[in-house]
Amino acid sequence: MTQLTRFAAFAAVAVLAGLAHAQPAVQASGTTLVVPAYGEVTRTNDEAVATFAIEEQDKDKSAAASRVNRKMREGTEILRRADPQGKLRTRGYYTYPVYAEEAVTKQPAPPRRVVGWRVGQTVELTTTNLAALPGAVAAAQRVLALTGLDFRLSRAAQRELDRERIAAAYRDLEERIGFILQAMGRERADASIETVDFEGSGNSAREPRPVGMLAEAKRAALPEDVAEPSFEPGETTLDMRIVGRVKLR
């Protein structure tokens, strides 16, 4: 092969390579790109839901119910004093018979004998005063039992975080569009967003009761003070996935 022939072959290969490189950009005109994007934001929980319960058992149903009612009333009064802005909600009240454990020797089995009654009640405290929560829980535990504790975002915090995650998802969409156009050798002005599909990611405060001599007298009759617990509210993460349709000019 002469030098001229080799040069011509090299030139032909170069032209073909250039055409192959330029061809995708020509074909991409008018194309619609589907671009997924993702946004995620995290914030420390600012609301707690504490569940307290009391249960009594007695042969006399009225006696068991009376003790439950008295202790629940004392416990809710303590919670109101410890956290005046907290919201209290009764979650349940039950009365169950207690049956004797007897060996069954006859068929059919005779009716079981009721030997007592179990009575219980549950109350829920919802509060954003997390600084006062350990003290409120410790005070209430002198009368009631803490049966559950959950930390979450308040409604106000959820709405603010929702705005932030939408903004984060849209920023990610714009960045991804820019990366794709750059890889295609196009400018941002060559594309326009036609549609964006946003997919889903996924409580009356009472006045504080004055603490006077009556309250002090009740406090003296209560069991020994309970040491304050320690709580870590943790964080909540909200995410959002969006899909944008981009048209290339």
Where do the structural domains in the chain lie, given as residue ranges?
48-153
CB of 143 closer than 8 Å to CB of 121: no
Q: Which of 248, 197, 194 is nearest to 26 (CA)?
A: 248
DSSP assigned state of 143: T
Q: Which residues contact 92 (CB under 8 A, 6 or more apart)?
A: 120, 121, 122
What is the phi/psi pair of residue 206, to 5°?
A: -100, 155
CB of 242 closer than 8 Å to CB of 199: yes
pLDDT greater than 50 at residue 208? no
CA distance 83 to 88: 10
- Classify residue 79 as exposed, middle or buried by CB count within 10 Å of its CB (0-12, 13-18, 19+): buried
User: Under DSSP, is residue 141 helix (H, G, I), strand (E, B) or coil?
Assistant: coil
How confident is the model at residue 35, as a pLDDT? 92
Task: List helix spans (H) across the chain.
Answer: 3-28, 61-82, 133-140, 155-183, 213-221
Average pLDDT, integer, range 153-173: 93
How confident is the model at residue 186, as a pLDDT? 87
Distance, CA of 14 to chain centre: 60
Q: Each residue of 14-69: pLDDT tens digit?
A: 433 444 444 444 456 778 889 999 999 999 999 999 999 999 999 999 999 999 99
pTM: 0.68
Reported as half-sphere exposure (CB side, CA atoms, 13 A), residue 87 has a value of 11
pLDDT greater than 50 at residue 214? no
Q: Which CATH architecture has domain 48-153?
A: 2-Layer Sandwich (3.30)
Q: Which of 46, 248, 78 is nearest to 150 (CA)?
A: 46
CA distance 221 to 203: 34
CA distance 230 to 220: 25
